[in-house]
Amino acid sequence: MEVTIQRALKVAVEAAKAAGQAARVCFDEGFTMEEKDEFGDVLTEADLKSESEILSRLGAAFPDHQIRSEESGWSGVESDWLWLVDPLDGTNNFAVGLPLFGVSLTLIYKQEPVLGVIYDTILDKMYTAVHNQGAACNEQALSIQPRAMPARLTVGWIQGHKVQQDSRAVQLRTHVEKHTKRMMRLWAPTMQWSMLARGQLDGIVLYNSEGDDLYSGLLLVREAGGLILDFKGNPFTGMNSEPYIIACPADRKEAMLKLVREGLAESVYFD
């Protein structure tokens, strides 16, 4: 298993870099796009070119692994090993010319993330995390360091694409925005996970957002020393099709739990 993960790390880093370069060319030189669903989500030429760079490399290196990718769906043979691929995390940012997007690859073994790679395309930062082996950015170790508690927290918000204006999501989101210094919605989740792993956020609240970009970020934060909890404060592990997550440094745990509990004071989550 160890040999597989180390080989996978090398291939994933190369694939993420190639995918990011393909997206960068489109970003600089122009691209085609089309609407993908009734919510206004879009599919760009860069999504497909980036995905092709990744799938060709993973398929050649690991023909016995299964793959779930953002645009093409499932491929490969059924296996204990599963790759989750988001070739362009932040497509809507990309489409409007906002230089905030990246690439996400996660290797899952028996429902547990064991390898995560996130590539911040514009800043050329490669984030890697290996289960029980730590996290790094451009091969420099990442470790969330204790900081003085601020008067008001800076918190990232991530919600699932189909959540939209769900009443409980709106209730919590409004509370978080009202009671923090800043609530950040970057529309590129992996960029927020990397900020938390660098110690630049006090926490992240994720509301029902399970996708191909999730588990690389969770692993990165966990391996950098952060906590990954459900809304009741229990450790969040494995995979969940409808996750509700609080992620934060250990010294922000109580403040983040209080924020979410107060925001959902009458919710079924705390019955």
Confirm or deny that 89 is annotated as ligand binding: yes
Report residue 248 as tokens: 């934060």
Confirm or deny that 86 is annotated as ligand binding: yes
Confirm or deny that 213 is annotated as ligand binding: yes
Confirm or deny that 64 is annotated as ligand binding: no
Going by C-alpha positions, the residue among 234, 215, 218 that lies closest to residue 226 is 218
Characterize the bridge pairing of strands 81-89 and 66-69: parallel
DSSP-derived secondary structure for 147-203: -PPPSS-EEEEEE-TTTTT-HHHHHHHHHHHHTSSEEE--S-HHHHHHHHHTT-SSE
Confirm or deny that 98 is annotated as ligand binding: no
Q: How far apart are the first and last CA of the chain?
A: 41
Helix (H, G, I), strand (E, B) or coil at 268: helix
Give Dmax (Cα) for the chain.
53
Which residues define the annotated binding site for Mg(2+)?
70, 86, 88-89, 213
Which residues define the annotated binding site?
70, 86, 88-89, 213
